[in-house]
Structure 1
Amino acid sequence: MKVVVDTNKCQDHGQCVFAAPDVFRLDEAGRLAYVSGPDESLRADVEDAADVCPLQAITLED
Structure 2
Amino acid sequence: MKVAALAYEQLTPAARAEANTLVRLNPDYPQWVAAGVPADIRETFTKPFTAGVGIELP
User: The TM-score by the shorter chain falls in which range?
Assistant: 0.3 to 0.5
Q: Which has the higher contact order (CA 8 A, sep 6+)?
A: 1
Question: TM-score, length-normalised on structure 1?
Answer: 0.35
Work out which of the two has the higher radius of gyration on C-alpha atoms and give 1 or 2: 2
Question: TM-score, length-normalised on structure 2?
Answer: 0.37
Answer 1 or 2: which has greater strand percent: 1
